[in-house]
Chain A
Amino acid sequence: MKNALLSLFIFILIHHSTAQNNSKLVISPIQNSVTFSEFVNNAEHNLNIKFFYKENWVDSLIIMNYPDSTELSTILHDAFMLSKLSYIIDGSNIIITNDNKLQTSLPEDFFTNKPAINIKTKGTEATNSSFINKPEKKEVQISNSITVIGNPKVISSESNCSISGKVLNHEDGQPVVGAQIYIQKLNIGTITDPSGYYVLNVPVGKSELMFKSMGLKDLSLPIHVYSNGSLNVNMEKSDVLINEIKVIAENNNNVKNLNMGVQQINIDKIKQITATLGEVDVLKTALLLPGVQTVGEGSSGFNVRGGSTDQNLILFDDIPIFNSSHLFGFFSVFNPETVKDFKLYKSGIPATYGGRASSVFDVEAKQGNLKKYAISGGISPVTGKLTLEGPIIKDKLSVIIGGRSTYSDWILKQIDSPQTRKSSANFYDISTKILYLLNDKNEISFTGYLSRDNFTLNSDTAYHYQNKCAGLFFKHYFSPTVYSKISGIYSNYQYNITRDDDPELAFNMKYDIDYKSVKSELHYFPNSKHNFIVGSEITRYDMTPGNMTPHSSESDITEFKLPKEQSIETGLFLSNEFKISNRFSAYLGVRLANFFILGPYKDYEYNPLVPKRVESRMDSTQYAKNEIVKTYGEPEIRFSSRYILGVNNSLKFSYNKVHQFVHMISNSSAISPTDVWKISDPTIKPLIGEQFALGYYHNLFTNTIEASAELYYKKTRNHLDYKSGAELLLNPNLDVALLSGIGRAYGLELLLKKEKGKINGWVSYTYSKSELKIDSKFAEDRINDGEYYPTDYDKTHDFTIVANYKHSRRYSISSTFTYSTGRPISMPVAKYNFRNNQLLHYSNRNEYRIPDYLRWDISLNIYENLKSNKTISNFWSIGIYNVTGRHNAYSVYFKSTESRKLNGYLLSVFAKPIINVSYNVRF
């Protein structure tokens, strides 16, 4: 078949060149540009010739003005230059052929004005190489007609015009994020933003626009630009997308873009990596990236570049999620079926984001299919999932709704044992996204999210916690270069602890935090050298720090309510990404972050001569409702720059400063479901984080391997810690229980990544340090005598290998290997006898470390039915987690036993190889 096509192609080319020799037809001067049909009508009329072609091949072809009489062959040559059309002049018959199906790739200089004979040779070569040498090479879709942009009647006075538009996935209408759009010949290009939008400054006239994106067929589009205009394109899905792992947007981007410490992985790649208990997990995948760590396997919180878990802004379509874990942290709250991708900013946080000092973890919800309905479902050892998506109005209004739930309760019921009868542990989450494309200028989308966890463990006390979120987004395109986005965001996190076995002691404890925000931003691309974003954000926090109420009429529980807290956070931001020279680009952003604590509030004044205690309160001021108690705020600078050193390498630098006004108060090293979020108050100052980062990026072996080295230094002020033994829940004097200090973290991250090919993946190594210093003039308010001590998540060395091997389109094997230094832990420095028992004394925090962590996972993915017009596609994943069965320590602890002996224990969460199978189906 391939050979037949090849022969046909050569045949056509031969005829093409023969035709060149016979052309002696001359066309009289053409004054104004005419459409090809008009030209044909004229030519047929004047020269008594006959054209043979299909109307739709030429519908966008324009014949430029030729002031002098010109040979027909020249005109046709010019006209077809950017299309896939060829012509044969056979006497008075001009036969136009369309050979686009034959070509798989184009030579770089294909579009330069070279004699046809060269086209033939080059074309043949390209065909040969693409068929024989590079079977995995992606197919290039080549448009056979020139797309006209702007009004041909208007002669642009400028040499450059802006074109803008959206790049959408042909199959489901999803925007294609991070697609590259460029004109290779001119070395200009851009990438699409999260909504698939792009703006590119292009010269007036004809050029060849190339669209490239991972997993999609490359698209080559000849354009003829007359003036500013828009161009929306649909990109087709490539059949072979399952073999590639993408971490950073695109190969060239790593060197050329301004992103630093930014990692993006889309859900197809996440699904390939071995999952904990067969449950694909967005957050756990992020842990494989350099600079991202966790205290232990069972904890969902993660630490980015030595920052604490609450310093990550976890967003689901711009909505902050306060508790990102299900089932105490074994799974994250994101259902992989409704997630499109995630983007993690470890440094160089754009000015549009504020409020968390370490990172932004931006999970983007999948948008419903705009073309057709689809149902997908899956089952893993832990959960069942069902997702429904489709167009309500084709190409206009789409919806996706996905739910996930555990059947752990069902498992518990099967185990008919007295303990399990009273126990339950379950969770579910539902997310939805509705997209309405009103017209070319306006679009509205809605994202809703609900997650809930319940557990009762053979006890009378039941725990519930839930995230409830919604976001409404309105996007308006004013012109090709200006668009605005307005969002209204609501997020609520609450937990409840209830007990009702004993009516006398029945209670309900409630914690609740409410986040309401309105954000507006305006994007302006005046030309290819600048990209402005200006905007504002206003957020109101309402927090119920703890309400204890009786839960039955007979209950003797005292009603106890901590005063509510409320505050407003504002952010004004302005940023510009600008190109200074071909080599040097920079991003400069300023965010003016302010925080207003509102009354009612009782502010205590403490005696500065003694340690801060309830007894050292001297005076208090009562503030009335909505009175401003205290204001915090400062401008924050966000700066990134890139300097291209050579063809394949660049140097980047970034600096950012962030104020954080909400803090998670936790006295355990992992996030626990009852940790409380606390908003800054007059005594709890906002945390201020600053980061300097320097990176070197180098692409090797013609962009097949990306290498990068990033160096960072971070410092934080007003880092909270708590006094030993502090009670954090329902504590009316929480400010007294807390200490504050400074933190510093630094490290080096090395990453080698291969995105394409049968074997792909990455290898990373991180050296890092993260330390805190809590000093005070009072000994009891110091930790470790006011010296720097390592944080709970300080892991000096971290080494990760993620490797995927694609055996065929049906089978792929994925393997991950992680090694890291054990986390710091406090160990006893002395034992002592007390009441005939041996007890332990701990002094300095985090002086010791638990044993090093090492884990190897492997999984086999089987894709069934890969036909392009499949009605049902199945996907199996069989994995082994912790292949070596190493007893990785979660913690080391010591406990007095009843026999009065003291023992040391090592708690390991997954201490044996765990085999899991999960199955997914899509209709």
Chain B
Amino acid sequence: MAEAEAKRVASDERAAFDWLGALRDAGFLGLLTLGLSFPIIAFRTRQDLWQGLVLDPRWELVTVLVAIAFTARFCWLVFGNRLAGGVQSLAERVGSTLSPLKSYTATFRLVGLAWLIAYPFLAVLFAGPGGALKWIDNFGIQILIYVMLGWGLNIVVGLAGLLDLGYVAFYAVGAYSTALLSTYFGFSFWLCLPLAGIFAALWGILLGFPVLRLRGDYLAIVTLAFGEIIRLVLINWVELTNGAAGISGIPRPTFFGLPFNASDEGFAAFFGLQFTPLHRLFFLFYLILLLALLTNWVTIRLRRLPIGRAWEALREDEIACRSLGIDTVTTKLTAFSIGAMFGGIAGAFFAARLGFISPKSFEFMESAVILSIVVLGGMGSQIGVAIAAVVMIGGTEMLRELVWLKAIFGAGFDPTQYRMLLFGMAMVAMMVWRPRGLISKREPSIVLHEKRAIGGELVKEGQG
């Protein structure tokens, strides 16, 4: 009955569709495209032999673009409503399948963990020892680093609601302290790992102090500047950091003193195994998995402690916090320093994994990627951040797999060039259909009768 009603309404809508209006609207967009492309696309500029400016007109390209804009707009007006509804319901369905997953947390966690532990073996099984290198290194380890960074930043942005655009600075501090301590003083990786965390935490406090009174845009700008300052110091303090050339020869992590090499003292020889570079990758994979899980465990634990609740309360309403006698200074500083600490530990791992670091790895783009992982995942949601990291970093790596597209678009086509475009499109799509991130629900930190997730519309994002 209701269905028939809906069908009748839909057919009425179709009958009443304003074709002329749609044509006019699409025509207007076509004209707009023409106007826009005239100064940008219509002419290619080059210099001739006499240094004079030559304009090569490209009217075919402009015509194609205008045609695309016109057709796309027209199709959108005709079919768009249904398409948008479809995507909306799809997004909702994805969201609602993810939410129950959260309520079966125990099972989900166990299956996820089992899969993660089995992952390197599965990679070897399916891709062979040679092919597995890529899957463990580029996908497994790379994604897990970003998961850990995302979780670290989640403390600052997701829980405490402090917008930090310079998080990569702490990653850099961790990486450079490991590199410098090990190359100058010969500290082992295992000593550098906690030290890097401590140094990064100290830098977190150092950044925290001047920005305590800042909120929102101002906080974002200062943290952004902080990230850039660290990078510029690393580039320009050549005597210490070797400048833009970076530091190489950072000792690789060892397995309780056993290096991963083909020598007689190596890991393979000690355990009587055939030497293969896979050993090191397996080790690195499990190490970063362990570090990421540690980050997760600590965060989940802290969320249920007074300090974690104070962070969330700070995100909800700073003035109310102060009226309840909560010391907002220490609350903010602990959030900054603990978030920074995990960034620093991830940095130490990063330095030891590659054996080489340079300021190039710590550009603003990295901060932006980590922040978008947190925002896309759903601020404050641990599992959401992990999923976002898999999608974003895994997706970027997947682009490299699309070389077969060269057969269609010609040899000059490089799919990785479209990374930022896809990134932006994913962002826009998210903002339209799931503005609070993949998982926007908040789980209460303490329960009296029955655990119920809190809808994202009530949870605030913080102003600082």
User: A and B: partners?
Assistant: no
